[in-house]
Chain A
């Protein structure tokens, strides 16, 4: 069975500081990995995804993530936080199309950006 662990349910960063959100997964097959963002009272929006190929993936809004198979990790980073980055972030894993593209989500990390 797949599982996703996000370390830290809340993260507080200063505007302009590095954002680092941690995600570790377990999967029995090479995984597809995703980061989604959820703004208050909104649905989930895809930030970026890893399926195959280059392990450093760039997404929207200046975010990027690196797939490290040896560490079973897919941590999300952004060099300089902006006030608009305040939201909840979810890491997710799927086994791909053969498993119906079902997503298993981590518990989420809420990001607070301080001015």
Chain B
């Protein structure tokens, strides 16, 4: 299995631009999580989906952030408009219902200048 695949690995964008981060979970997994990692706040859960349905988005910082999961094999996290304080590493993780372990992708390092 290829594991959780995230793209791009690195993204540099200008303030005000739209940014879309992508995630392909492990095949067969039915829970998907988006986390953000910063020096100041550590690892934070932004949103998670179960069977493609958003269950808890209380960690999404602002309305500028949105996430979708149109099918079981793809999810996006969009920031529009982006701001310098959004600079962070964004991780996607997936897990199988009934299994407590979450598998993480390698992350997308976002820099907003």
**Which residues of A are at the interface with B, using a C-beta cutoff of 8 A?**
32, 34, 36, 41-46, 49, 51, 90, 94, 96-97, 100-108
Interface status of B98 (Cβ within 8 A of chain A): yes
Contact present for A45 and B104 (CB under 8 Å): yes
Contacts of A36 in B (CB 8 A): 104
Q: A90-B43, A102-B45, A103-B45 are in contact. Are A97 and B100 (CB under 8 A)?
A: yes
Please tell me if B95 contacts chain A, counting CB pairs below 8 Å: yes
| Number of residues from B at the complex interface, CB < 8 A | 25
Q: Which residues of A contact B25 (CB under 8 A)?
A: none
A45: B residues at CB distance < 8 A: 104
Which chain B residues in 5-41 approach chain A with CB under 8 Å? 31, 33, 35
B90 to chain A, nearest CB (A): 11
Task: Tell me how far the C-beta of A77 lies from the nearest C-beta in chain B, rounded to whole angstroms.
Answer: 21
**Residue in B35, B56, B107 whose CB lies within 8 Å of A100:** B56
Q: Which of A43, A90, A101, A104 lies in contact with B95, CB distance below 8 A? A: A101
**Is the pair A101, B100 in contact by a Cβ cutoff of 8 Å?**
yes
Q: Which residues of B contact A107 (CB under 8 A)?
A: 42
A-B contact list, 8 entries, CB within 8 Å: A34-B101, A42-B106, A44-B91, A45-B104, A100-B50, A101-B95, A103-B43, A104-B45
**Known: A90-B43, A100-B50, A102-B56. Contact between A43 and B100, CB under 8 A?**
no
User: Does residue B80 face the partner (Cβ distance < 8 Å to A)?
Assistant: no
Contacts of A94 in B (CB 8 A): 100
Contact: B48 with A102, CB < 8 Å?
yes
Residues of A within 8 A of B107 (CB): 42-43
Q: A49-B100, A49-B101, A100-B50 are in contact. List 16 more A-B contacts (CB 8 A).
A: A34-B100, A41-B106, A46-B101, A46-B102, A51-B100, A90-B43, A97-B97, A97-B100, A101-B100, A102-B45, A102-B56, A104-B45, A105-B42, A105-B44, A106-B42, A108-B43
